[in-house]
Structures are given as structure tokens and as C-alpha cells.
Amino acid sequence: MKGLFNREIKTGAFTIDFSRVNPNPCKGVLSVEVRPMNRMDTLIIDNCTSDLISHENPFKIPISNVPIVSGVVNFNPYTKEINGYKSPKDMKSVVTYIFEQ
């Protein structure tokens, strides 16, 4: 199985639609990682505040032999204050994909 590596920079709130991100839609996504660029910033998924996504604790779907071909995940900046810091609404995040080729 061959993989194609791709990295994108997203700003603010964003959505990953697995049926649309792949340059070869028939094959699917083997792995994805979402990590805020700034070490102080945090993200949440679908307004669920129980799991904060940070630079040290990124969102990961590890490499699998079964590609993801559909599904949607919504990411939003966590704008509540943590240790005196509030993530800006226009924060940047790095999204790394490995696509099945």
C-alpha cells in the first residue's frame, strides 16, 4: 500500500470532510493529525470541552489499513481562558494527512 503525505494550514474554526479532502476520493485517508501551531492554543471538537486538543495533545487518527472515505469532524478554537490565556478565534492549526495512493 502506498501513501501520499499532505499538510494544510487551517485558520479559525474548520471542518474536515473526509469525502472531499482526498485528491483521489476512491481510495481514502489512512491517517490524520490536527495540531495547533501555537503551543498555547487549544481546539475542541464539535463543542465538546472534555477533550482539549493542544500542541502537546494533538487529535490523531493513527495509520490504518482501512482507509476513511467519509465522515465529518468540526474543530473550533477553545476561547475560554486557560492559565490566563485565551485562544484567538483566528488561530492557526496544522492538519497532516496520509492518503492511500
For every one of its 101 residues, what pLDDT tens digit does the chain have, with 9 covering 90 and above? 677 889 999 999 999 999 888 777 668 899 999 999 999 999 999 877 778 999 999 999 998 888 888 999 999 999 888 888 888 999 999 999 999 88
Check if the beta carbon of residue 63 is closer than 8 Å to that of residue 2: no
pTM: 0.89
Reduced to 3 states (helix: H, G, I; strand: E, B; else coil), residue 29 is strand
pLDDT of the residue at 64: 86
How far from chain centre, in Å, is Cα 101?
20
Spell out the residues 6+ positions from residue 86 whose beta carbon is closer than 8 angstroms to its own.
79, 80
Bridge partners of 38, per DSSP, are none
Tell me, what amino acid is at 2? K
Q: What is the Cα–Cα distance from 98 to 87, expressed in whole angstroms?
A: 28
